[in-house]
Amino acid sequence: MAVNNAKIYGVEKYIDFVVGDFLQLAPSLKGNVVFLSPPWGGPSYKKMENFTLNLLKPVDGYSLFQVAQTIAPNIIMFLPRNVDVCQVEELSWLSSPPLNFEIEENYVRGFLKGVTAYFGNTGY
């Protein structure tokens, strides 16, 4: 599906598609930015007042972030709209000095669907 989408937008020649388990592939990857769009653990996330990072799959958000940091200095995470934003910001403190942090709310037809958190060089 990703290849098909890339073809539609005419950008497939700029992309190397790698299919596999992110946690196994990570040691062989290097880049400028990692975009993480991890599973939120199913529809039950909607019922929670505060979605905490330990609920992310396949591993908790802290571990996922740390793995991403071995690949790139800049990390982007797409997260549920009810995520605990203070906890997300804490991820930026895992680096010394702390990474720049920005959070963006994502609306579709007026409904808040998710949030995107930017760590590192946030001037994308």
Binding site for ligand SAM (CB under 6 A): 21-23, 37-39, 58
We find the least distance from the C-beta atom of residue 37 to ligand SAM, in angstroms, to be 3
Whole-angstrom distance, CA of residue 124 vs CA of residue 111 = 24
Please, which residue, 2 or 94, has the CB nearer to ligand SAM? 2
Q: How far is the CB of 35 from ligand SAM (least distance, A)?
A: 8
Q: Which is nearer to ligand SAM, 58 or 98 (CB)?
A: 58
b/e per residue 36-65 (b: at least 16 CB within 10 A): bebebeeeebeeeeebebebbeeeebeebb
